[in-house]
Structure formats: C-alpha cells, structure tokens
Structure 1
C-alpha cells in the first residue's frame, strides 16, 4: 500500500511539473493569442527647458507614448536636453515629464508634466514652465 501511495505522489508531481512547464512555454493570459507586438521606431528629441525664465540646471526628461507605453528619456544639462534616437520616444501622442534639480548632484526638486505629439521626424521643442505649474518631486525611497 505504501508503495502505491509513493507512486501516486510521484505521478502527481510529474503532472504538475509538466503543466507548469507547458504554461510557461506557451504563455498564460497573453491576450488570447491574437495580440501582436509591433516594434515601433524611436526618434530623437531636443530643446530647452526654463522655469520662471531661468534654464533648468539639471534633471531628466521623459516622453511616454500613449499607445505603446514605451518611454524615451534623457538628461537636462544647463537648460538643454538632447535625447538620441536609440533612447528616444516613439512617434505619436505622448506624455512628457520633467524632473528637475536646482543644482547637479542634488536631490530632485520638482516635477512637471504635459502632453505633446511626437512627430515621426523627431521632436524639437522648448518648454517654458512656471513654478506654479510644478509640484514637488517624489522623494527617493532607497538611497544608492
């Protein structure tokens, strides 16, 4: 009797393992098999960013495409941002998020966001922001 219980448990383990491996291999919950992943091109972005008429000293800018969810981002240095196409946004309607510091090396000070349409030829645009349009940047949860 004990031998048959051991065989039964062994068969169950094997069956569960085969099911798990099969689910991983074919995917589970992946959109019903008709979802298509289409690689979208990335484009460059560049421009200037000021707050209350002064160049943003340091920070980052991100473009998040509304359709793909992909983001492209780059650094802000002395009020200028340049994002190479390899790191850039997908063309189309996007949210743009600016996170700024008062000085390079300091903690993030404030953030601002807006909506833009990124052209297929690349985005070139300046952002003129007022302090009233910003909100405090989120604090880092983990220090590196």
Structure 2
C-alpha cells in the first residue's frame, strides 16, 4: 500500500498553535498502536506549549526533523533543531516547537501511549543498544 506525500493532507491547529499542514499516514488502515504523521510548519509557525499526561491520555511523542530549522522547548530545556535531529517528549513533559527558519519546517511525528515492547530478538535492536553504549561496543558486533 503506497501513500504519497500530500495524499490526504489537511490544515490543522495544535494546542493553540498556529496553522500547520498535517498528513496522518495510513489513518484507519494501520493497526500499529501509534500515530505516524508528517507536519509542515510555515516560517514563524508554532505548535503551542502543552503536555500529555494524567488526567489526559498519557502520550509520548517522537519528533524527527526532515527539512528546515526550528527550536524545541522540552521541560525548560531549549534545543535548536534541524534536518536529521530527533526529540523525545516523554509523558507529562511540557513542550513546544517553533519554526525559526525562512522556509517550511517539515517533520515526522510518531506518538502513542507508552507500553512495554521487546525487540531484543532483532539484530537492529542489538546494534542500537551497542551504539548507545559507545563506539568500542558497536565495532565489536560486526
């Protein structure tokens, strides 16, 4: 099943933020327990400061930046972001995203309710663990 960029995209405002363009990939078709969306914020656009936690539905979000430059605030920590960067907003953290560039800020956002998962049988999970432990560990898995 193929879904092309822009298929089923729509304008949307998040958390009292400015308008952005969103595409919810495979909405109603995928059975994965996460939402996978692409967002495009215009220059100066912002998401709006917010948190996802009790008594709301607890959600965790991963932001993966594809194009442009921006600024992400997570629980008072400030991060300049650009293509290739990723930010994790755990349940209950207050966070906001702003486009600080002259062009659109495009990103992939994956969100859902945290739950236990075990991918340890996959070789890529082993490599990811080793990569986080340091360069000497990652080289030994070849």
- Scaled by the length of structure 1, the TM-score of the pair is 0.26
Give the number of the structure whose alpha-carbon radius of gyration is greater. 1
TM-score by length of 2: 0.27
Q: Quick check: which one's helix share is greater?
A: 1
